Amino acid sequence: MPSDLETSMEMLIKVFHRYAKDGALSRKTLRDLMTVELSNFLQSQKDPAAVDKIMKDLDTNGDGKVDFEEFVSLVVGLSIACEQCYKAHMKKMEKK
């Protein structure tokens, strides 16, 4: 039976490939993925061009697409931000 971490990694790969065409995300498929899979994150963004800016930041090789390695950097960045929020929340709960 796979561990929680192994299951999470498998899900990350499956989600990417559910949206990726020819092994990469276009601007439209990145937007689709984020709309469905990261809806809370997108709703919290005040900038309507957030996905375009994210696409530009992720596309490190400049090919106009986001491959899996580039996509993982988005997930890592969001995970780090979420973990920081989690730690702040836990500190707040300890003070109560």
**φ, ψ of residue 47 in degrees (nearest 5):** -90, 115
Provide the 3-class DSSP secondary structure of residue 66. Answer: strand
Q: pLDDT band at residue 66, thresholds of 50, 70 and 90? A: very high
Question: How high is the pLDDT of residue 64?
Answer: 93
Question: How high is the pLDDT of residue 81?
Answer: 83
Q: What angle do CA 88, 91, 94 make, to 5 degrees?
A: 155
Rg of the chain over Cα atoms, rounded to whole angstroms, equals 15
Q: pLDDT band at residue 27, thresholds of 50, 70 and 90? A: very high
What is the rounded average pLDDT of the residues 66-71? 95
What is the rounded average pLDDT of the residues 21-35? 92
pTM of the model as a whole:
0.81
Supply the CATH classification number for the domain 4-95: 1.10.238.10
Domain boundaries of the chain, sorted by first residue: 4-95
Query: With pLDDT > 70 as the criterion, what percentage of the chain qualifies?
Result: 99
